[in-house]
Amino acid sequence: MKDSDLPLCIGLSTRQLRFKIGLTPLNIDQLPLATNISKSEIDMPLATNISQFDIDIPFATKLSPLNTNQSQKGADSLFKGLAPLVDSPPPSSDAPPSSDELAYPDGIYQYILKMCAIHPINITAGFYYGNPIGGTMGVLLLMTSVNYWRKPLLKSVRRYIDMSVAFITVPYHIGLSLFTTNKLLCAGPMILGALAYPFSIWLERKKYTKTAAFLHCALHGLVCAGATLTYRDYYIHSQ
């Protein structure tokens, strides 16, 4: 039997095609596609409907392209009218604080509150060494500090009162320390304590919360030490 006597079976399984070999010889040159096979010679629909049946296709020679435009239109109509999914921007760190936001987290600001217990030292020294103005300022600073740090809300009247008293008391004592005989010992701690305040705020904004709280505690200790040494220096040289 010659090759021209064989039926054309491109892309079709032999289990599901039954040709009547010998009845009608097929010419390969005249039948380039499997779609030219007549219905009388195969027991199934045309090969163009091949996608409708479960048959084994070892090699597909002629497949129609997928209609991607129609599926894309269907998807567009499905999601039509819905808002696009856009990632919301992260919250800005420069946003104004809320009315119930704490200056330091719970469990950390208590250390600053406990540090206020050191201020009776400079208050006692102020009255003992003959500086009642400094002693009175120390009492006011202790009262406003304890009143604020018991619950340090960023947006509260208690904070503004505490800052106002501190901004009057600390510069006053720095001015006194500049006229002492030992400026390094008296003015040094006061100036370092004043510089620690803005630096602690910067560290807290950079999320170094514990370090910032430590610096604020150091602020209270340095101011207390500087004020006490300043009172003592004035007292010794006034005799």
pLDDT, tens digit (0-9, with 9 covering 90-100), for 169-212 = 999 999 999 999 999 999 999 999 999 999 999 999 999 999 99
Asked if 203 and 212 touch (Cβ cutoff 8 Å), the reply is yes
Q: Where are the domains of the chain?
A: 1-60, 109-237
Which comes out higher in pLDDT, residue 218 or 35? 218
Return d(Cα 115, Cα 218) in angstroms, integer.
9
Tell me the one-letter amino acid at 185.
Answer: L
* Count of beta carbons in the 10 Å neighbourhood of residue 144: 21
Highest mean pLDDT among 15-24, 45-54, 148-157: 148-157
DSSP 99-159: TT-BSS-TTTHHHHHHHGGGHHHHHHHHHHTT-HHHHHHHHHHHHHHHHHHTS-BSSSHHH
Report the pLDDT value the prediction gives residue 81, as an integer from 0 to 100.
53
pTM: 0.59
pLDDT class of 238 with cuts at 50, 70, 90? confident
pLDDT, tens digit (0-9, with 9 covering 90-100), for 82-128 = 545 444 444 555 555 555 788 899 999 999 999 999 999 999 999 99
